[in-house]
Amino acid sequence: MGRSKYIGFLLWTMVLCAQRPPNELFPLTPLNHEQQMVLDKLSNRSVSTLSESETFTLANIYLHDRRYTEALSFYNKLCERNPNRFAYQFGRGASAGFLLSGRPSFRSLRYVVQLRSSFEAAVRLQPNSLVVRRALLNIYLGLPRLLGGSQTKAEQQLKAIQSINPLEGALAGAIYAKNKNDQPAFAHQAQMAYTDYKHQFAVNDSRYDLAMITSYFFGDSQRAIQLLNDFLDNANIGDQYPPVFARYRLAELNNNPQLLNLMKEEVPELDTFLETYDPLSTYIRNIKPN
């Protein structure tokens, strides 16, 4: 493999490790009147005159408005001022992650470093944050070692998740087993998640994952439909899966070919996006064909 092809492969791997489709697939929530007024007021001031609180407010608004480059710039300033604030490190990592979404470029190299380092800092500050630990699990599993991937660190995140929340731990264990293509371990973890009615979800994406396990591995369409509807009810911009994925899976489960075709027309390459950015469903269908 030539040098340029190797770099291109690494960049594509980084996008896959983020496990997030292009940002355009997620619904945009416009700024409300108050947010727009604050943005107009603060963005017209010199950055050096902004207080820490104002800088944080502006960073959050930029993040909400999908102006990720500006958001990352302001979160960088906040982390330089106070690196021990969870919200600053989380915002920095999220901004970098959003900038990694979609097709890769050579600029992605710096974003993946910021994504990983910020989430590592965030989990040190809030060890019980399952959202961050799940993100780190995917990062360590997806990245090549050259860029910070580590099987050992992935296992550490998995054990931590399992100790905090057994339901989330079983789903994380299924993801880990999928990555290793360990089918017996996957079946064991999937069974644990499927039969766990005691613990509550801490990560909205876990509802989608369990819906895929419930539907394609256990053939329980009714429960899968409920989980997907719950996922849509709790959807937010930081989710790994866009709402259109859940709506498409619901149309499949409800056997609605007309709606499926309509969604494919509205979202070009939707089948490709699902195959690429929903690897759990693809894996289950491969190991347990109908």
pLDDT in tens, 236-265: 988 999 999 999 999 999 999 999 999 999
Cα–Cα distances in angstroms (integers) from residue 123 to residues 90, 180, 268, 273, 287, in the given order: 9, 24, 37, 30, 34
Which top CATH class is 1-164?
Answer: mainly alpha
Alpha-carbon distance of 186 to 124, in angstroms, equals 29
CA–CA distance, 66 with 60 (Å, rounded to integer): 10
pTM of this structure: 0.91
Residue spans per domain, the chain? 1-164, 167-285
pLDDT digits (tens, 9 = 90+) for 101-158: 765 566 677 888 899 999 999 999 999 999 999 999 999 998 888 888 899 999 999 9
CA distance linking residue 100 with residue 19, whole number of Å: 10
Measured CA to CA, the distance from residue 155 to residue 6 in angstroms comes to 27
